[in-house]
Amino acid sequence: MSTVIVDSITVDNQRTQIPLTELGYRVIGNYRQTYTSGQWNPTTTYAWIPGLFYDYTPVSASSRIRVRCHVPYARNSGGAHGISHWIFYANGTEIGRHSVSGNHLEDMSVYTWDFASWGTTSGRIGYQMRSYADDNHEVRVYCTNYWEGAGGVQVCNGQFIIEEYFTGV
């Protein structure tokens, strides 16, 4: 085993140097949950997605928080097309939003969000979602629609992972 000691890494002369201290990080807090309770049927009103939110208290006010959401989803069996709207929050602040839509939709996505700590008080981190229409053009999480070439809803598990860390360690 060898050890290489350098001050920075440069890809080429046209690029900015990255100090190695920015590449390191130290985890100071984490939380992980696996959702196993079956498919969730959303409505047309934004609601917290079961298994994709948690009331978290940061360890430090000067840390960063990275959240990874492993989400299986499929269109409901009542239509060929699914449309959904998602908002990710941290401590009451909207961090970002997106849609998940498609024809004959069935997938597993991993969404990653990274943001600064808001302090050391408890705050909710996670997703709210709503469907475009109730039981029509709907995306449901934690399930499949086709299984082994035929229609049939199968339960899928999702994961929600929070990692609080310091950079430059």
The whole-number pLDDT of residue 104 equals 77
Q: Tell me what percent of the chain is helix, strand and coil, each rounded to the nearest 5.
A: 0, 60, 40
**C-alpha dihedral sign at 77, 34, 37, 57:** negative
Q: What is the DSSP string of 71-101?
A: EEEEE-TT-SEEEEEEEEEETTEEEEEEEEE
Are the beta carbons of 125 and 32 closer than 8 angstroms? no
Cα separation, 95 vs 99, whole angstroms: 14
The whole-number pLDDT of residue 147 equals 67
What domains sit in the chain, N to C, each tagged with a CATH number?
Answer: 29-167 (2.60.120.760)
In degrees and rounded to multiples of 5, residue 23 shows phi and psi of -85, -15
Residues paired with residue 44 on neighbouring β-strands, in sequence order = none
In sequence order, the 6+-apart residues with CB closer than 8 A to the CB of 80 are 103, 104
Give me the tens of pLDDT residue by residue for the chain, a chain 169 residues long.
667 777 766 667 677 776 666 667 889 999 999 999 998 989 999 999 999 999 999 999 999 999 999 999 887 766 777 889 999 999 999 999 999 987 777 788 999 999 999 999 999 999 999 998 887 788 889 988 776 666 677 888 999 999 999 987 6
The whole-number pLDDT of residue 25 equals 81
In sequence order, the 6+-apart residues with CB closer than 8 A to the CB of 95 are 88, 89, 113, 115
The whole-number pLDDT of residue 10 equals 65
The whole-number pLDDT of residue 33 equals 97
The whole-number pLDDT of residue 143 equals 86
Are the beta carbons of 31 and 123 closer than 8 angstroms? no
pTM reported for the whole predicted model: 0.82
The whole-number pLDDT of residue 134 equals 81
The whole-number pLDDT of residue 106 equals 79
Name the residue type at position 57.
T
